[in-house]
Amino acid sequence: MTLRHLLADDDLSPVDQRAVLERALALKADPFSDRCLEGPRTVSILFDKPTLRTQVSFVGAVAQLGGFPMVVDGRLAGVGERESVADVARVLGPQSAAVVWRTYGQDRLEEMATHAGVPVVNALTDDYHPCQVLADLLTVLEHRGTTEGLALAYVGDGANNMAHSYLLGCATAGMHVRIGTPTSHQPRPDILARAERIAARQGGSVAVTDDPVAAVTGVDVVATDTWVSMGQESESGTRRGASSPFEPFRVTEELMAHAGDDAAFLHCLPAYRGHEVEASVIDGPRSLVWHESENRLHAQKALLSWLLEQHRMGDR
Ligand code: NVA
C-alpha cells in the first residue's frame, strides 16, 4: 500500500506535482469524468479555523468525484482536547477514504497522518497552505501555458503559511520565487533551505529581500496575503497599524508598475483592501483572483483523485 499525504508542498515531487496539475486541467475540462469516490465513500473534512473557499471547494470536489463529504467542526469535536489526535485519526481512518484538515500546528497534522491509515491533506496549517499553491500554479499554467522559468514575487508576511508554500510549491514547479518581506518577518530558515535545494535541482531560484520594488521588478506574477493570519488576531493592531512593518509591502498600482508587462496578481483571499492590497489592483485587469479561487476546486479534485490512485496502485 503506497500511502501518500500532502502535509507540506514538497511532499509532491516535481513529477507528482505536474501529474496533479495535468489532472486538474483535464478535470476542469470534463468535470464529472472521474468518479473515484463512487459508493459514495466518505472524505472527512475537519476545520479548527474559519473557512469559506476551502469548505466549498473540498465539499464540491468530493461530491463531484462521487463521494460523501463529511464536514466536522474540529472545535466541536475537540480534536486534541476532548480526545487525542491519534484517537481521532483511528476513528476517522477506517470510515474515510481520506482525511482533510485545517488546523494550527503542523505537528497535529503529522500525528493525524501517522495514525489515520489513509491519505491526509493539509487544508492549511500555521506553516503551510499547499492546496492554495496548487490552485495558484494551475492558474499560472492556464494563464501562461507553463510554470517553468517564470518568476513569482510574494510580498507581505514572509513568515506565514503562504510564504512557505510559495517557496516550496513554486520551486517544485521550476519557478523563480522572490519573497519581499520586512527583516522582522523572514521565512523559516529550514523551509527556505528546502526550497533552495529544490530550486537548484529544478532550474529555478529562491530569494528573500526587504525591498518590495526589488522583489517585484520584472516578475510574471505578484502575490500577497493578509498581514494578519488566522490565530494572529490579537496582533492585528501592530500588524495593520500605521507603524506596521508591512506598510511598505502593500501591493499598489505603483508597485505593480515595476512588475513585468503582463504580470498577473494573485491573492489567496480573504483580502483586506487598503491593507495588503489596493482595491484597484485586486479589482483591476491584472487580477486573476476569482479564477484562482475557482481553481481550488479543480486542483483539490485532482489531488484527491491522485492520492487515492497511489493508494490503490500500491495494493497491486
Ligand atoms: N495566511 C492566511 C491564509 C488564509 C487563506 C491565514 O493563515 O489566515
Residue of 129, 176, 194, 298 marked active site = 129
**C-alpha span between 213 and 233 (Å, rounded):** 28
Residue 314 reports pLDDT greater than 70: no
Average pLDDT over residues 94-102: 98
The set of residues, in sequence order, having a beta carbon less than 8 Å from that of 266 and lying 6+ positions away, is 136, 139, 221, 222, 223, 288, 289, 292
Question: Which residue carries 476532548 as its cell?
Answer: 82
What pLDDT does residue 282 have? 98
Q: Which atom of ligand 1 is nearest to the CA of 228?
A: 8
Q: Pick the residue with more confidence: 281 or 1?
A: 281
d(CA 70, CA 59): 8
The fraction of the chain above a pLDDT of 90, given in percent, is 97
Helix runs in the chain, H state only: 14-29, 53-64, 74-77, 85-92, 106-116, 130-144, 161-172, 189-202, 212-216, 236-240, 253-256, 279-282, 289-313
Whether 268 is catalytic is yes
**What residues are paired with 207 via a beta bridge?**
178
Work out the average pLDDT over 140-144: 98
Within 13 Å of residue 222, how many CA atoms lie on the same side as its CB? 34
Instruction: Tell which wins on pLDDT, 312 or 316.
Output: 312
pLDDT of 254: 98
Residue nearest (by alpha carbon) to ligand 1 atom 2: 229
Given a cut of 80, is residue 99 above it in pLDDT?
A: yes
Comparing CA positions, the residue from 172, 225, 223 lying closest to residue 196 is: 172
**Which set of grid coordinates corresponds to residue 280?**
484597484
Q: What is the whole-number distance in angstroms between the Cα of residue 313 and the centre of ligand 1?
A: 34
Where does the pLDDT of residue 311 fall: very low under 50, low under 70, confident under 90, or very high at 90 and above? confident
Write down the pLDDT at residue 312: 79
Read off the pLDDT band of 315 (50, 70, 90): low
Task: Say how far apart CA 294 and CA 296 lie, in whole Å.
Answer: 5
DSSP helix/strand/coil, 197? helix
Is 225 a catalytic site residue? yes
Tell me the pLDDT tens digit for each residue of 265-302: 999 999 999 999 999 999 999 999 999 999 999 999 99
**Quick check: is 35 catalytic?**
no
pLDDT in tens, 151-182: 999 999 999 999 999 999 999 999 999 999 99
Cell 500577497 locates to 224
User: Does the annotation mark 258 as catalytic?
Assistant: no
The ligand 1 atom nearest the CA atom of 53: 5
- The per-residue pLDDT for range 178-227, each reduced to its tens digit, is 999 999 999 999 999 999 999 999 999 999 999 999 999 999 999 999 99
Mean pLDDT of 131-155: 98
Q: Residue 92 pLDDT > 90, yes or no?
A: yes
Is 170 tagged catalytic?
no
**pLDDT, position 316:** 43
Q: Encode pLDDT of 46-68 as tens digits.
A: 999 999 999 999 999 999 999 99
pTM recorded for the entire structure: 0.97
Give the distance (Å) from ligand 1 centre to CA of residue 228.
Answer: 8
**Plot region of 259 (φ>0 → left; ψ -120 to 50 → alpha; else → beta):** beta
The Cα–Cα gap between 23 and 25 comes to 5
298 is catalytic: no
Burial class (CB in 10 A: 0-12, 13-18, 19+), 158: buried
With 70 as the cut, is the pLDDT of residue 79 above it? yes
Residues 8/132, Cβ–Cβ less than 8 Å? no
Helices (H), 260-288: 279-282
Query: Which protein residues are within 6 Å of ligand 1, measured from CB?
Result: 124, 129, 160-162, 225-226, 229-230, 268
State in Å: Cα 73 to ligand 1 middle: 18
Catalytic residue among 126, 250, 268, 300: 268
